[in-house]
Structure 1
């Protein structure tokens, strides 16, 4: 009697093709065929064959693509820690083909800030850039490939790999593209000063500010003109050759000293803008000797390097002299590992590995704390003192705030300026303090004059309270 079971065994000695790929599946193949009409013995091997061919195609395509790229193409690699990376990224992000990317890295575009009259509509604008993939595009009738890939590994190395490739052994088209990126980058920065600061132990571009005219920095005009003339002479290409022929290190250093709020940092930023130089700002309290030397070695030849509060290094030396340590060598090693020492600063300024061609500006609020070795000729060529506001500076500040404003008559502003200056004691308040009062009353010059006595009393009271706190047990504990 014939069996009615749907699971029909295969004849002895015959092996199904399906059994070779999926053992056991051949037993239920007749059931699937009865209800669906699909013969798995014919379909499954065909699907497996197609999958195998697709695998070979992809693997072969990758191998062939890599072989062509290595043998018949040119590639330029860009470090993500380089300013060239910013140039390329800015160019790519503005191209139509970048919109075809399906993987983006989004950031807040801090350079755009607020648009005039936007009423906050562009607050914290977003910046999209292709990320972790490749884009193909045409440039001057050449097919190029832009790659920006995430790089996993050492946290202290580049986080990504950026490259641009083109077919052919000549790199001319890649150099043309990089030159266009550079030129467009500089055009976008026209009238701005790039500011670099230290982040994670290396220089990074932090912001771009509109060039501040040197005329807006309140200081003696003759001294400003002499300073600009000296820097201009130093930056002249013939000057470098003159220094080199005589074996003199091609460096120039300036010390700006005076009370806080008197314009030292403003003048430094204005100098950078005047000579179209980038400015690198470094606070010595935030680095140690090793980091300081590394940062100085990374400086470009032509730039302004601003060292703020250089008295930190001299103060550290004084504290070392006054403190007795049971183990001097251990204490010195620990000190050098945490903050800048005077010897480390001097070595960075004019050591063997220090960069030439840079304009060095150091600032301090306490020149009396500086070591003589730091400010000797050769390290500091000019010393410029900044003083508290006198009547002339106070009048200039008043004119800057109120002249040219809507509804303000210039003659009336001039009278108010003289009246205002006569009520503010000379050499007691910094220009920043006076400017703060004027900005609070920027809508009305008369209001600024009327409130000046109350403001003086308030500031004096705050200073008195601060002195009491400094002399209390809270300060001395």
Structure 2
């Protein structure tokens, strides 16, 4: 019995097969069928049937050929969604409108950079569109690149995976593409400070703000100058060599303490901008021990780590703690979020905290802090942020309402400072009041007395 005129019997399994038949099973049948199709020996219907059979038989080999080709000629880069490279690539894709061929997009509330379809600074809750599950293609320097995004359900969260591929003999085109994305990204961040906040055990960009000059942060000039000089000296290359030669961990810790609204966080963000660093803010109430360790381990080498409201860990006040007690015996106290005191201490002392990093701890209640947190080696400098003095009130008036035509700023600022009680109000409270009169400085002076009385009464009622 033969098929399509083939001279190879179907029972030939017991006979010796040609070498090509061993390498490619069915080769003889396929080649014979092809020869008969092109010789015209078969009817039209039989030819169509044979073509379907040929496609079915050839499919595994075609896929194998494709896999071999991609294995040797396709290059792929993978991008983690929680890393800064993800934002870098997304920025390039959106700015060059390369995502227009995407058949699957994710729509969210909130404007995205360079997304003209959604961006409107004055629009209420604008829509944003981002490439989502699927594949789309775009051209870069006459090379066709493939952007692929997939999502894996891990049970407790959905993990996004992004990759970019191209057919080439070397990965140089992908490296060029990433370099261009990097240059554009850095250009958009010029004179910007990126503020990161933790989301679980990952860092996420919370805001990108204009770098705030230190001169715009109205504080005690002596305090400001002392902290900035200490930081500048620490970051000097000669200082780093000194630390390295003596095998001393190269890190610096600061404790900013004082009442709410006295500028602790604002000053920290301003310092980051002055030093051209990004700032990573830990939300202590929302962190557990494992997340804290992972977050510290994923910090970049050169950054400012800000641990706000460190007192919420729940450490005992000095009068209730034993100074001679070892740090590792104080591990039962924890914040509402689950992070323990011992975890914070171990993290601050650990290897992940010893590489070119600046740590700033803030608290509104210095007396609530355990002495273990603020001992030398963990905190190298303490800075007290006080309520506004009359000189601070005058400086704030001048900065916020000065420079207007036909206005004697010096006289008005003196009058305003004279009506503000010394060390009773925070700079944030004074700023909030002055913002109401940004175009009427005389009104700020005239109504100052009433505002002071009302605020003092409110404070007495809240005690």
Please indicate, yes or no, whether the TM-score normalized by the shorter chain is above 0.5.
Answer: yes
Q: Hey, what does 2:341 align to over in structure 1?
A: 342
Deviation at 1:346, TM superposition (A): 0.9
Distance in 1, Cα, partners of 2:421 & 2:112: 40
Q: Is the deviation greater in 375-384 or in 422-431? A: 375-384
Distance in 1, Cα, partners of 2:120 & 2:141: 41
Distance in 2, Cα, partners of 1:87 & 1:448: 45
Deviation at 1:119, TM superposition (A): 8.8
Query: After the TM superposition, which residues 190-339 of structure 1 pair with which residues of structure 2 at under 5 Å, given as runs?
Result: 190-313=190-313, 315-317=314-316, 338-339=337-338
Return the match for 1:462 from 448, 458, 462. 458
Checking the alignment, whether the CA contact within 8 Å between 1:192 and 1:273 is kept in structure 2 is: yes
The Cα offsets for residues 114-141 of structure 1, whole Å up to 9 and x where unpaired, read as 99xx996544343322222223333233
The Cα offsets for residues 295-339 of structure 1, whole Å up to 9 and x where unpaired, read as 1111111001111111123x33459x79xxxxxxxx977958952
Q: Hey, what does 1:441 align to over in structure 2?
A: 437
Change beyond 3 A, Cα 1:70–1:398: same
Checking the alignment, whether the CA contact within 8 Å between 2:285 and 2:337 is kept in structure 1 is: no
Query: After the TM superposition, which residues 363-374 of structure 1 pair with which residues of structure 2 at under 5 Å, given as runs?
Result: 363-374=362-373
Q: Hey, what does 1:81 align to over in structure 2?
A: 82
Deviation at 1:425, TM superposition (A): 0.7
Q: Hey, what does 1:144 align to over in structure 2?
A: 145
Q: Hey, what does 2:20 align to over in structure 1?
A: none
Change beyond 3 A, Cα 1:375–1:51: same
Deviation at 1:72, TM superposition (A): 2.0
Q: Hey, what does 2:17 align to over in structure 1?
A: none
Query: After the TM superposition, which residues 61-80 of structure 1 pair with which residues of structure 2 at under 5 Å, given as runs?
Result: 62-80=63-81
Checking the alignment, whether the CA contact within 8 Å between 1:211 and 1:270 is kept in structure 2 is: yes
Structure 2: 5+ residue stretches without partners: 1-42, 322-329
Q: Hey, what does 2:361 align to over in structure 1?
A: 362
Q: What's the TM-score once normalised by structure 1's chain length?
A: 0.78
Distance in 2, Cα, partners of 1:174 & 1:145: 11
Deviation at 1:87, TM superposition (A): 1.0
Checking the alignment, whether the CA contact within 8 Å between 1:114 and 1:120 is kept in structure 2 is: no
Task: Say what the alpha-carbon RMSD is for the aligned residues.
Answer: 3.2
Change beyond 3 A, Cα 1:410–1:303: farther
Aligned pair count reads 411
Distance in 2, Cα, partners of 1:163 & 1:57: 30
Distance in 2, Cα, partners of 1:353 & 1:403: 46
Checking the alignment, whether the CA contact within 8 Å between 1:74 and 1:170 is kept in structure 2 is: yes
Distance in 2, Cα, partners of 1:60 & 1:53: 11
Q: Is the deviation greater in 389-398 or in 106-115? A: 106-115
Deviation at 1:409, TM superposition (A): 3.4
Checking the alignment, whether the CA contact within 8 Å between 1:111 and 1:208 is kept in structure 2 is: no
Checking the alignment, whether the CA contact within 8 Å between 1:106 and 1:127 is kept in structure 2 is: yes
Deviation at 1:60, TM superposition (A): 5.9
Q: Hey, what does 2:10 align to over in structure 1?
A: none
Checking the alignment, whether the CA contact within 8 Å between 1:349 and 1:379 is kept in structure 2 is: yes
Q: Hey, what does 2:414 align to over in structure 1?
A: 418
Distance in 1, Cα, partners of 2:251 & 2:360: 11
Change beyond 3 A, Cα 1:83–1:401: same
Distance in 2, Cα, partners of 1:374 & 1:194: 27
Aligned residue for 1:102, secondary structure, equals coil
Aligned residue for 1:375, secondary structure, equals coil
Distance in 2, Cα, partners of 1:95 & 1:60: 39
Q: What's the TM-score once normalised by structure 2's chain length?
A: 0.80
Checking the alignment, whether the CA contact within 8 Å between 2:94 and 2:114 is kept in structure 1 is: no
The Cα offsets for residues 172-199 of structure 1, whole Å up to 9 and x where unpaired, read as 2211211111111111121211111011
Distance in 2, Cα, partners of 1:267 & 1:127: 33
Deviation at 1:464, TM superposition (A): 2.2
Distance in 2, Cα, partners of 1:155 & 1:445: 54
Aligned residue for 1:164, secondary structure, equals strand
Deviation at 1:56, TM superposition (A): 6.7
Change beyond 3 A, Cα 1:400–1:141: same
Aligned residue for 1:316, secondary structure, equals coil
Deviation at 1:435, TM superposition (A): 1.3
Checking the alignment, whether the CA contact within 8 Å between 1:289 and 1:336 is kept in structure 2 is: no
Structure 1: 5+ residue stretches without partners: 1-41, 323-330, 468-477
Change beyond 3 A, Cα 1:191–1:110: farther
Checking the alignment, whether the CA contact within 8 Å between 1:317 and 1:341 is kept in structure 2 is: no
Distance in 2, Cα, partners of 1:214 & 1:336: 33
Aligned residue for 1:462, secondary structure, equals helix
The Cα offsets for residues 239-271 of structure 1, whole Å up to 9 and x where unpaired, read as 333212211001001111111111111100000
Distance in 1, Cα, partners of 2:335 & 2:450: 48
Checking the alignment, whether the CA contact within 8 Å between 1:93 and 1:128 is kept in structure 2 is: no
Q: Hey, what does 1:184 align to over in structure 2?
A: 184
